[in-house]
Amino acid sequence: MVLVSPIPRSRDQPARGVALSGAGSRIALALLVFSGAPAAAAPGRSPSVRDRSWTEGSLDLGDGTPIRFVRGAYRARDDSQVSLQIEGVSFGDVDGDGAEEAILIVSSNLGGAGTMIEGYVFGLKDGAPVLRARIEGGDRGEGGLESAQVAGGEVVVRRFETGPTDAVCCPSRVLIERWRWSNGQLVKAAGAPRVVRRPKTHWRVKQVGVGSAAPAGPARR
C-alpha cells in the first residue's frame, strides 16, 4: 500500500491560465510563453517585476547556472531525478527603494522522499531577473516555507514546523517570521516567531499493490 499526501502549498499559487479573446491575442500569448520573455512595459514606464511571467523562462537561483522553468516546473534531463517547482509568486517592495521585487517560493526534490522549500527574491536589471536575496528554507515538514509576502515594509514569512506528535510529512504548526532589508541584505527580525495552527493534512489511498484497484471509502486521516 502506498500512501501519499500533497505537498503543503502556498496561498500565493500563481495562476495557471489566462483567458484572452481574438486569434491575435492567443498568438501573442503563445509566443510570450514559448520564449519566457517579459511583457513590454508601457511607454514612459520602467519595467516592473509584474510584467514578467515568473513561471516561464530561465532563472539563476544563486549557483551561477540558469534553470529553465516551463509552466513553473523544471525536470533534469539526466538520471539525477532533480526536480524543482515554483509553488508561489508574490510582489512587493522588499528593499524600500520604491520598486517592487518578486518573491518566489520554490520546492526542490532530489529524487527521494525529502522536499525542500525555499524563498528567492528577484529584482530586475535592464529588464532581466537578478537574484537579490534568498530566504533559507527547510524540509516540507520542518522549516520549509509556506509563503512569503511583503506587508508594512517587511517580508512576512510563514514556515512549517512539526509538532511533538506530528508525522514528519505533516506539520501541524506554522511559524510566522518578519524579515527586513538592512545594509543590503534581507535579515530575520529579532524576537521569537508567532506560532499558529494549520489545517490537518488528509491522507488518501492512491495505489494498493500492483494491478489492484484502491478500495472505495473515505480518505484516511
Would you state the pLDDT for residue 166? 87
Tens of pLDDT along 65-99?
999 999 999 999 887 889 999 999 999 999 999 99
Q: What integer pLDDT is reported at residue 126 of this predicted model? A: 92
- 34-50: per-residue pLDDT in tens? 334 555 555 667 889 99
Helix (H, G, I), strand (E, B), or coil: what is residue 147? strand
Give me the pLDDT at residue 110, please. Answer: 84
Burial classification of residue 145, based on how many CB atoms lie within 10 Å of its CB (0-12 exposed, 13-18 middle, 19 or more buried): buried
- Give mean pLDDT, residues 117-124: 97
Single-letter residue type at 105? I
pLDDT for res 86: 98
Residue 55 to residue 215: CA distance in whole angstroms: 37
Single-letter residue type at 80: S
Output the CA angle 139-53-151, nearest 5 degrees: 60
DSSP 8-state code for residue 178:
E
pLDDT band with cut points at 50, 70 and 90 for residue 203: low
Under 8 Å between Cβ of 220 and 16: no
- Provide the grid cell at 16: 495557471
pLDDT recorded at residue 60: 97
Residue 215 has pLDDT above 80, yes or no: no
- Judge whether 177 and 188 are in contact, CB under 8 Å: yes
Please state, in angstroms and rounded to a whole number, the distance separating the CA atoms of residues 196 and 146: 13
| Phi-psi sector, 57: left (phi>0), alpha (psi -120 to 50), beta | left
